[in-house]
Amino acid sequence: MSANEPVSVHLLDREYTVGVAPDERSSLMAAAKLLDSRMREVRGSNRMAAVDRIAVLAALNLAHELQQLRDEQHARNRDVERTLQDLHRKLDGVLGTP
């Protein structure tokens, strides 16, 4: 198991250092880039907005999107499960299995 290494990320022109496993570095950098982009969208032209408020609103937007994706995935899983059950019933009927 490898130790975490410090990595600097930039959010709204501020630098933050976080520890990350070497094999997760690129994922962290992509996440930081996404968060920075969302924070800039939330801030818009209001350069005086409080950074903590911007961060919370951006995080809330991302969490909402994540929850929507989870809900969609759950619905797809239910559909696949239903389809598989239907196929099993059809196979049982064809094979004469009770």
- Whether residue 45 is predicted with pLDDT greater than 80 in this model: the reply is yes
- Bridge partner residues of 15 (DSSP): 10
Mean pLDDT calculated for residue range 45-62: 92
Give the domain range for residue 10. 5-95
Tokens of 74: 């759950």
pLDDT band at 2 (very low <50, low <70, confident <90, very high): low
Phi, psi dihedral angles at 12 (to 5 degrees): 50, 50
CATH of the domain at 48: 3.30.160.880
Provide the whole-model pTM.
0.77
Asked if 6 and 19 touch (Cβ cutoff 8 Å), the reply is yes
Domain count of the chain?
1
How far from the centroid of its chain's Cα atoms is residue 26's Cα? 15
